[in-house]
Amino acid sequence: MTTFTKPDTLPVSALLALAMTGFICILTETLPAGLLPQISAGLDVSPALAGQLVTLYALGSLLAAIPLTIATQGWRRRNVLLLAIVGFLLFNSITAWSSDYALTLVARFFAGMAAGLAWSLIAGYARRMVAPHQQGRALALAMVGTPIALSLGVPIGTWLGGVVGWRTAFGLMSLLSIVLIVWVLAKVPDYPGQARTQRVPLRAVLLTPGVRPVLAVVLTWMLAHNMLYTYIAPFIAPAGLASQVDVVLLAFGVAALIGIWITGRLVDHHLRQAVLTSLATFALVALLFGLYAESPAVLYAGVFVWGLTFGGAATLLQTALADAAGSGADVAMSMNVVIWNSAIAAAGLSGGLLLGQFGVGVFPWAMLALLLIALWVASAASRHGFPAGQRRSDVLVAGH
């Protein structure tokens, strides 16, 4: 248990190191999507097979998050963080150098395992650096790397891969990992792991009041989000915006950054209201998309508002989940990784089926149904999960 008094000022440099970790996680995952033609040519496989580099990464995260988190519960926290970053260094380097498709797939799977461990760790680590009343703001800052990677990192990575080659792009990811290792050693404080007597079993964490409602909201909210995000190109095509996908996604990313800033101001005092407002607003956007899908003005305005609601989603949901789980927060976060990635995969599959059977016009209505379920679950979880009022000052932090 830590005995020192935490300062009122946020440890910005340390939290930004966590944000950089999230940035590398996202960019490592999504970089192949923008470089499929080059990768398929470089490995002498079809674009469809090259796309499995993304699939294997997601699979690694899904399968490894919970067991790796449980296996490393007793380790010092900075060592676990460094293990994940070294994983990115090693397996991105193998990806950059490999000329064998099977070896590249293995490297991507293990890189995904590193990501699963990192995502399970970031939220609890950020919360542990600050006093309880600052945990929401700290997590918001630690999560800022995600929208930056999605809005700016992927287009830049795609452009860079086209200019210097996809292998060099992955090599630069390894170089970024080396910089991050030095940063973590210099600025990120270390904490002991959980003693065996402090550890909460997986089943007990899942049965903790509030945990399941939050995970249910994660699943439905992220299903709705990823269904549209994955198929944004065909969705905006009927409005004549097929050539403006990059601009639309940039608008989304800028709005998401603003959303993170707003959430950082609200999460510690108005978490429940922020969750309900975000879900209700996103549901309204889905309704407008359903009614006016061919209007460019409505689409741009809707995408911007959607970005605002999504920007703070990870902070809000992970704060609520960690609060509900208490000393089982790290294990709960590993469950969150599994649910989040499952939602991404399920959205890709279900969205593809809906697109093939009914066309893009059905997307807003499917999203609306999912968001109304999420809104109902969050509204009902008023005692545990998404309680009203200011976050308690006695919230347990994983590992304390």
Mean pLDDT of 339-358: 86
Statement: residue 167 has pLDDT above 90: yes
DSSP reduced 3-state for 159: helix
pLDDT digits (tens, 9 = 90+) for 288-306: 999 998 999 999 999 999 9
| pLDDT for the residue 352 | 85
Q: Give start and end residues of each alpha helix (H) in 5-97.
A: 12-34, 36-43, 47-50, 52-71, 77-97
Across 65-74, 260-269, 323-332, 362-371, the highest mean pLDDT is recorded for 362-371
**Which residue reads 């089926």 in tokens?**
353
d(CA 337, CA 220): 14
DSSP reduced 3-state for 171: helix
| pLDDT for the residue 398 | 40
d(CA 278, CA 295): 23
d(CA 209, CA 170): 42
* Within this chain, domains 12-195 and 202-380 share the same CATH topology: yes
Of 400, 347, 60, which Cα lies nearest the Cα of 226? Answer: 347
CATH of 12-195, one of 3.40.630.30, 3.30.70.100, 1.20.1250.20, 1.10.3720.10: 1.20.1250.20
Of 143, 125, 392, which Cα lies nearest the Cα of 263? Answer: 143
User: Any residues with CB less than 8 A from the CB of 343 and at least 6 apart, and which?
Assistant: 218, 219, 222, 223, 226
Statement: residue 323 has pLDDT above 70: yes
Statement: residue 272 has pLDDT above 60: yes
| pLDDT for the residue 8 | 67
Statement: residue 34 has pLDDT above 50: yes
Instruction: Please give the CATH topology (third level) of the domain spanning 202-380.
Output: Growth Hormone; Chain: A; (1.20.1250)
Statement: residue 203 has pLDDT above 90: no
| pLDDT for the residue 396 | 42
- Position 7 confidence tier, pLDDT thresholds 50, 70, 90: low
* Amino acid identity, position 162: G
Domain spans, the chain: 12-195, 202-380
- Specify whether the backbone of 242 is left (phi greater than 0), alpha (psi in -120 to 50) or beta: alpha
Q: What is the DSSP letter of 151?
A: I
| pLDDT for the residue 6 | 54
| pLDDT for the residue 211 | 95
* Amino acid identity, position 71: A
Mean pLDDT of 348-377: 93
Compute CA distances 367 → 157, 296, 386, whole Å: 30, 20, 22
Statement: residue 2 has pLDDT above 50: no
- Position 149 confidence tier, pLDDT thresholds 50, 70, 90: confident
